[in-house]
Amino acid sequence: MSETLELEANDTCDTQEDTGNTDVDLMIPKTIKPPMIPPAILKMSPEPMYGNEYFEIAKSSVAGWGAFATRDLTKGDVILREIPLFVADTDKVFHEFYKLDGSAKKVALSLHSHRLIKGGTPQILATHSFAVAHYVSGLFPIAARFNHACDPINNVEYEFDQDNGVLTLMVREDVTAGTELKISYGNNLSPQDFSGQTIPVHKIIVFSQSSVIEQTYYEEWGHGKYAICGYDFDAVERLVDYLYTGNYKTIPSDSSEEQDKASELITHDNLMGLADEYSIPGLLQLSMEKGKAAVRDEPEIRALIECIPKVYKSVINPDSKIFNMMIESIRERIGSIPIDHNIRYILNFAMQEVPDFARGVAMSFVTQQPQNEDVDLDL
């Protein structure tokens, strides 16, 4: 009589007691392949295109460029490990940017700010920096191409590997090939402070004035809430005031404090940014009129120049309309009034703090020069 041996594949590896029987259960554990982890990459090309075995950067119907899954992805898949162009304390991001070499600066400046609008240096850094720790931000050119979606709409999450200095992007849910991958830049540590407060509004009031909000509400939200990211609560409250009354105030009605000039200018620029981003023509016209008046009605050139650093670092509007208004006004005043030693000192300080201001004033003078078609040079 021959002995038989049964082979049983089993997920467990429990030890069998020896009963003296000739039958033996041989346990064969399943082979588990370690998850594939992409290599860390530092992008040094300003071209937006990039792709790996998980996703590719391509044109997005949501906002300019975006990231799209090139295959079905599973929750937990690591799809990108990126080395930053730089990491810095939030209040020193701009200083670190100016330390970059020429090629790295081109990579940073190739990024776009909110939606389809090309931004200036401060807006690019503000809207594309990832919070890697409390009050610490990093700029990651590939990850920055992922469009933003607030939690819980985002299907990608990230964490910063402090030991290796890389940003790791992971899929937070199963995703089918072709799906756009979206990420929340903040991860509860964002350099911009999102308060999470809410304001009740009527859809008919909002949708009738912003087709962008109406469209994205049904595409991405549709559950009674709509998040406006990147703006503080006061700016959103003023937006709502405009939608209901056709106007907004720069100082809250319950505030007894006088608003300083820089804060007033920043308020108008924030409303210009909201109007641009959410396609509200009436608000754009009103905020531009208020902004121009605020710049024009400031009697002291010194006060206007002193506002430059604060406004430059705080504006959200990618076009920096208020910043350009200030440059034009300062250029006109420099050419028409005597400039004393104190004003020269303040002007020099502002230009050192904000090189874009110095360039803007210089270019403003150049563009205002009369163009002579025939120039005779007596050599």
pLDDT of residue 298: 92
- The gap from C-alpha 126 to its chain's centroid, in whole angstroms, comes to 6
CA 314 – CA 93 distance, rounded (Å):
13
Q: Are strands 180-183 and 147-148 parallel, antiparallel or unpaired?
A: parallel
CA 192 – CA 179 distance, rounded (Å):
28
Instruction: Provide the 8-state DSSP code for 92.
Output: G
Helices assigned H by DSSP within 173-254:
203-207, 211-216, 233-245
Q: Where are the domains of the chain?
A: 40-183, 203-230+239-368
**Under 8 Å between Cβ of 328 and 320:** no
Buried b / exposed e along 305-338 (16+ C-beta atoms within 10 A): bbbbbbbbbebbbbbbbbbebbbbbbbebbeeee
pLDDT band at 125 (very low <50, low <70, confident <90, very high): low
Percentage of the chain lying above the pLDDT 90 cut: 28
pLDDT of residue 346: 92
pLDDT of residue 234: 86
pLDDT band at 370 (very low <50, low <70, confident <90, very high): low
Reported as type and span, the H/E element at residue 125 is helix 121-128
pLDDT band at 255 (very low <50, low <70, confident <90, very high): low
Q: Is the pLDDT of residue 9 over 80?
A: no
pLDDT of residue 54: 96
Backbone Cα Rg of the chain: 28
* pLDDT tens, position by position, 72-82: 999 999 999 99
Q: Is the pLDDT of residue 291 over 70?
A: yes
pLDDT band at 192 (very low <50, low <70, confident <90, very high): very low
| Residues forming beta bridges with residue 82, ordered by sequence position | 41, 167
| Widest Cα–Cα separation across the chain | 121
Token match 């990618």: residue?
A: 318
pLDDT of residue 29: 52
pLDDT of residue 163: 86
pLDDT of residue 194: 42
pLDDT of residue 292: 95
Instruction: Provide the 8-state DSSP code for 175.
Output: B
- pTM metric for this prediction: 0.55
Peptide bond between residue 152 and the one before it cis (omega within 30 degrees of 0):
yes
CA 207 – CA 310 distance, rounded (Å):
34
pLDDT of residue 288: 94
How many residues are given for the chain? 379
Can you count the helices (H) and strands (E) in the chain?
A: 12, 13
pLDDT of residue 297: 92
CA 206 – CA 214 distance, rounded (Å):
8
Please state which of the four CATH numbers 1.20.1340.10, 1.10.10.10, 3.30.450.70, 2.170.270.10 is assigned to the domain occupying 40-183: 2.170.270.10
Most confident of 137-151, 295-309, 332-346: 295-309
- The gap from C-alpha 271 to its chain's centroid, in whole angstroms, comes to 17
DSSP letter string, 354-372: -HHHHHHHHHHHHHHS---
Q: Is the pLDDT of residue 48 over 70?
A: yes
Reported as type and span, the H/E element at residue 306 is helix 301-314
